[in-house]
Chain A
Amino acid sequence: MSAASTTSNKFVVGLWDHEEVYLHAIEHIRHKGIEIYDSLTPFPVHGLEDALGYKESRLHTAGFFFGATGMTLALTFMTWVMTTNYPINFGGKPYWPVPSFIPITFELTVLFSAWGMTLTYLVRNKLWPGRVPRIYDKRTTDDRFALVFDAEKLSDADISSIKEVCKKEGAVEVKDKVFAENEGL
């Protein structure tokens, strides 16, 4: 599914202009046993990952563990400082004032969870400043919903049947897209 996991350079791209038609098309195309290489949309289309059969993202689970790390770090560090490394008597108050630790523990939990999740998101989505992505069609960030089919190993007959199916399912445009070797990977 992911764009960078193969070295294919030859694709068929179908473009739709209405997300509801597009979602039905995906269902029908998958039902026919045609493999969809990638799907590009200008905004998050509700129900798209179900139509494509994607599993739920595990990003939030990662967020939980990052948060737990931040929380543990905050509590252990403050405990170590106040009780072991440099205990100070603040007017006879306890050396281990747990209620005072709540705000900083909370903040560090949020900080670690947010940063950890965002960095995981960037790594998993292969996003970094300066990355040159493969643009199958410039209008997929504007007003077109695209389905990309890997045409590298397909016969000409298969390719033309995919094109036909796309048109029948309401695609406004179907085209070939060939990238130079390793372009934008």
Chain B
Amino acid sequence: MHAYESEFREPLINGLDKNYTKITDDLVAPTERNSTMWWIATLLTGAGAAFFVFCLGWTVWFGIGTWGLNKTVGWAWDITNFVWWIGIGHAGTLISAILLLFRQRYRTGINRAAEAMTIFAVICAGMFPIFHMGRVWDAGFIFPLPNTRGPLWVNFNSPLLWDVFAISTYFSVSLLFWYSGLMPDFGTIRDRAKGKWRKYIYNILSFGWQGSAKQWQRFESLSLVLAGLSTPLVLSVHTIVSFDFATSVIPGWHTTIFPPYFVAGAIFSGFAMVETLMLFSRKLFSLEDYITINHIESMNKIIVLTGSIVGIAYLTELFIAWYSGALYEQFAFYNRIFGKYLWAYAMMMSCNVLSPQLYWFKSMRRNLWVTFILSIFVNIGMWFERFVIIVTSLADDYLPSSWAYFSPTWVDIGIYTGSISVFLFLFLLFSRFFPTIAIAEVKAIFRISSEAAKAQRAKEANATHGGYVGAYKVGPLDKDSRG
């Protein structure tokens, strides 16, 4: 009846005492207890989020002139931050959709938090282009709305408009995917709620979930088709973001390699951010049995793969610039490496291409400290990648007399760091009130991939055949699998 899984495979749910009751208890527990650490973190990030709002207010009141932009560098931190956040937002849908289609069971431990992260990251991303418009109260006209000027419609030839459609679709479909998965788990919290109000609120959140066979059947049909739709969607989003640059005539931007290179980079940075957050939450909420070293190793494998793809893309760009014989293109890349932004290029190369190579070693992939530090490195490196692409190409344009250097103002810095606070603030709220791990999905893999089930099978086989299943006795074979 169950899908077959080799007994040699490392379990995805650790702990021999696990059963369905224990899984519910463990996974609902973070929403049922108060934590001082949580309050401190939430208040701190809340203050950062308030500063974000203040800086945006400042921008709207005094205008975009408060940013460090100049007549040569018209796009800088704003679009860098936008692309960076959108990239981070890619891991959630990748984990929930693509890994679902590929039937990777390790997704169940991390998909919920990664999807939440996607939604919060896209919210942060959207702020930058919206506030860069200046007259933010007219932002609605990025959509083709009827108006009194003709009507004069938006330009359907423009990649910037495609971006509007791609990102708003991505945001809303991710939200549906995330929330439809949350309903059954809210039902679980409701049914064990003690207080009347708690029960009432979680019932509203669960939409009155019951868990009947027909509901589950439709649930599975919905999540499978949403996964099928989200897979090309997630690939299209960063492809279209890369079109913002690739369809322009700026040297260093006008390259056909951008779509796959951007998508790989997005997955790369997204997984790094998932790791940064997961390493904290598994500790803070004692979820080590559900987000195991095995999960972290799997993510690190994706990081070394996508990091290497990004590295090859950087080298391919350089080769093509040389091989094309296009002078302006060659200058743009020479200038990127040896020009005034040399330090940024070095940061990008070392963080994105060199540092993940450590993950070719199993001991590094399974080391929590290495993983944490590298995930921060990758986040920094991917921010610099966008900065390098955007600013170096613009700063030294076709006319040497207008060459310029970009320096951020306090408003630029405030909005960027503030957006990180907003992101963490939303994530903290999520992890306190919502189930951070998909309870029902973890239960669905319990009989196949948990340590308890594997040990049980080994015991049964031992009784009937007088031997072991493989070399598996009552614990995992792999001596380092307990983390």
Contact = CB atoms under 8 A, between A and B. Distances in A.
Interface string B216-238: 11111110111001101100100
Interface string A15-34: 00101100100000000000
Contacts of A82: 156
Contacts of A129: 204-205, 207
Interface in A49-74: 49, 52, 54, 57, 59-60, 63, 67
B132 interface: no
B229 A142 contact: no
A40 B208 contact: no
Interface stretch (B183-191, B337-345, B408-416): B183-191
Interface stretch (B18-26, B110-118, B323-331, B459-467): B18-26
A114 B226 contact: yes
B173 A108 contact: no
B154 to A, nearest CB: 9
Interface string A129-147: 1111111001111110000
Nearest to B239: A103
B122 to A, nearest CB: 14
Interface in B1-44: 1-3, 19-21, 24
A81 interface: yes
Interface stretch (A120-128, A149-157, A158-166, A174-182): A120-128
B236 A85 contact: no
B152 A115 contact: no
Contact of B213 (A48, A104, A133): A48
Given A63-B225, A103-B166, A127 B208 contact: yes
A172 B320 CA distance: 69
A142 B165 CA distance: 40
Given A39-B213, A108-B165, A142-B20, A128 B207 contact: yes
B1 A44 contact: no
Contacts, number: 196
B324 to A, nearest CB: 24
Interface string B413-428: 0000000000000000
Contacts of A138: 191-192
A136 B403 CA distance: 72
Contact of B208 (A93, A103, A128): A128
Given A117-B225, A130-B208, A139-B191, A54 B213 contact: yes
B225 A104 contact: no
Interface stretch (B260-268, B372-380, B382-390, B439-447): B439-447
A40 B144 contact: no
Contacts of B219: 44, 121, 125
B248 interface: no
B173 A23 contact: no
Interface residues of A, number: 70
B241 to A, nearest CB: 11
Nearest to A106: B236
A97 B20 contact: no
B1 A57 contact: no
Contact of A85 (B153, B157, B216, B222): B153
Contacts of A107: 162, 165-166, 169, 233, 236
Contact of B232 (A45, A52, A106, A142): A106
A44 B226 CA distance: 17
Contacts of B447: 19-20
Given A49-B213, A77-B144, A104 B155 contact: no
Contacts of A168: none
A2 interface: yes
A88 B150 CA distance: 12
Contact of B210 (A46, A93, A133): A133
A125 B213 CA distance: 11
Given A141-B187, A142-B192, A42 B212 contact: no
The 9 A-B pairs of least Cβ separation, nearest first, read A131-B208, A143-B20, A127-B207, A103-B162, A43-B440, A39-B213, A44-B216, A57-B221, A107-B165
10 contacts: A3-B212, A17-B20, A39-B213, A43-B184, A107-B166, A124-B218, A140-B210, A141-B190, A141-B211, A142-B24
Interface of B: 1-3, 19-21, 24, 144, 150-153, 155-157, 159, 161-162, 165-166, 169, 172-173, 176-177, 180, 183-184, 187-188, 190-192, 203-205, 207-222, 224-226, 229-230, 232-233, 236, 240, 243, 440-441, 443-444, 447
Given A103-B243, A110-B233, 14 more contacts: A2-B214, A40-B212, A43-B443, A44-B440, A81-B153, A88-B155, A93-B157, A107-B162, A107-B169, A114-B230, A135-B210, A140-B191, A142-B188, A142-B192
